[in-house]
Amino acid sequence: MKLTWQTSEMVNCLHAAEAWLRSPANMDAALAGALTAPVTALLQTLLEQGVPPDAFWSHVVPLAAGIQGSQELTQVTLTKVMGRADALPRVARLCGLLNDVKTAFTRVIPHAQEQTASAARDLRQRWSYQGEGLLSGVLRWTEPGLLVEEGAVLMVHPVLGGGGTAHLPYNSVRLEAVGADPVAELPEVLRLAWLLSSLNLDLPRYSEHLRPRRLTQVAGLAMIPVVLSAAAELGLDGSLEARLPQATALWMGTAETATAGILSAWWDSYRTLRPAWGTALQALDQLLP
């Protein structure tokens, strides 16, 4: 897989804003305080203007990696979410609010992009040694054609102390550039492999038989035992049984014992039967509540 590694001031700002919406208590208090007013105003305006917030965030963050101007970013994002005719009247107001978020973030963390690039170098080095082996293991446990040929890694300032998101429609992943692995038993190189391994799962042969709006959850869960099994083959990880609940909680943000139990049982069945990956994903979807 050919990877492009990127840092972006606007992606840093938007990542922090989205993190504030999801878990402000886990952020630095000064940054959380600075973002409160502009992010709240942005959210309220999205709702008032009939822009679905989840759809807005799913596009604006990955798009920001390749669009420099905030006005163009706003227009392209809104066009993707609601069409050009409905987007144009809303661009100016939302563009101003995005700039307010950026101003608030950079006032607290003025050198975030430089800090992010520096912290990302270690991960890039580790990936150069271990990434190819991990992704080869992913293919051994799944099927040919599962992985994208090219992808982008958007490294962002670690406002939550570690975390990441896969942007399947954009063949990109977003990863916090932490200085050290938050959990030593699950190094960040494994989280990166996990995120990258899911990027092709929006293809119809994998996603068309899943229940609506379940792709993110099913794809994320399914690739956890795959990556852990590939890591074990390289000596990068302990037993699957010991790490599966831990990885589910750390990477997916769910510590529910039932979910880890369902995932473990599903993986045991998959290893025995080895159906097509699309069939396996459908089975996991049916097992989950």
Contacts of 229 (CB under 8 A, 6+ apart): 137, 141, 240
Is the pLDDT confidence value at 239 over 90? no
Query: Are residues 132 and 160 located together in one domain of the fold?
Result: yes
- Average pLDDT of the residues in 68-86: 96
Pair (63, 133) in one structural domain: no
Is a pLDDT exceeding 80 seen at residue 257?
no
- What pLDDT sits at residue 246? 92
Pick from 66, 89, 110: which residue ends a domain?
Answer: 110
DSSP state of 1: -
Average pLDDT, the chain: 95
Give pLDDT, residue 240: 78
Q: Are residues 210 and 250 in the same domain?
A: yes
In this predicted structure, the answer to whether residue 37 has a pLDDT above a threshold of 90 is: yes
Mean pLDDT throughout 84-97?
Answer: 96
Is the residue at 51 inside a domain? yes
Report if residue 1 sits inside a domain. Answer: no
What is the mean pLDDT of the segment spanning 261-267?
96
* Shared domain check, 135 and 100: no
pLDDT at 84: 95
Tell me, yes or no, whether 100 and 191 share the same domain. no
**pLDDT tens for residues 183-214?**
999 999 999 999 999 999 999 999 999 999 99
Environment class of 154 (CB within 10 Å of its CB; exposed 0-12, middle 13-18, buried 19+) = buried
In a domain, 149, yes or no: yes
Q: Are residues 99 and 192 in the same domain?
A: no
The percentage of the chain sitting over the pLDDT mark of 70, rounded to a whole number, equals 99
Are residues 137 and 98 part of one domain? no
Q: Which helix (H) or strand (E) holds 216?
A: helix 215-233
Q: Do 142 and 77 belong to one domain?
A: no
Establish if 19 belongs to a structural domain.
Answer: yes
Number of helical (H) and strand (E) elements in the chain, helices listed first: 13, 4
Please provide residue 6's backbone torsions phi and psi, each rounded to the nearest 5 degrees. Answer: -135, 150
In the beta sheet, which residues pair with residue 154? 6, 174
The DSSP bridge pattern shows strands 164-167 and 172-176 to be antiparallel
Q: Which two tokens stand for residue 183?
A: 């959990």
Token representation of residue 284: 């996991």
In contact, 178 and 159? CB cutoff 8 Å: no
Amino acid identity of residue 25, one-letter, is A
pLDDT, tens digit, 9 for 90 and up, residues 9-24: 999 999 999 999 999 9
- pLDDT value of residue 285: 98
Residue 241's pLDDT is what? 76
Establish if 218 belongs to a structural domain. Answer: yes
Grouping H, G, I as helix, E, B as strand and the rest as coil, residue 155 is strand
Domain assignment present for residue 2? The answer is no
Span 240-249, average pLDDT: 88
pLDDT of residue 238: 66
**Residue 193: Cβ-neighbour burial (10 angstroms; 0-12, 13-18, 19+):** buried
Q: Is residue 3 part of a domain?
A: no
Mean pLDDT of 38-63: 97
pLDDT surpassing 70 at residue 170: yes
pLDDT at 223: 98
Assess whether 141 and 88 both reside in one domain.
no
Whether residue 48 contacts residue 66, with contact meaning beta carbons closer than 8 Å, is answered with no
**Structural domain of residue 23, as residue ranges?**
8-110
Q: Both 169 and 264 in a single domain?
A: yes
Cα 147–Cα 189–Cα 216 angle in degrees, nearest 5:
50
Asked if 30 and 72 sit in the same domain, the reply is yes
Last residue of a domain, one of 94, 110, 126: 110
Are 131 and 265 contained in the same domain?
A: yes
* Confidence band, pLDDT 50/70/90 cuts, at residue 253: confident
214 within domain boundaries: yes
User: Phi then psi for 172, rounded to 5 degrees?
Assistant: -135, 155
Residue 16 sits at φ, ψ, to 5 deg, of -65, -40
Domain boundary among 92, 110, 128: 110
With beta carbons less than 8 A apart as the criterion, state whether 244 and 224 touch: yes
**Which residue would you say has higher pLDDT here, 62 or 115?**
62
Tally of structural domains, the chain: 2
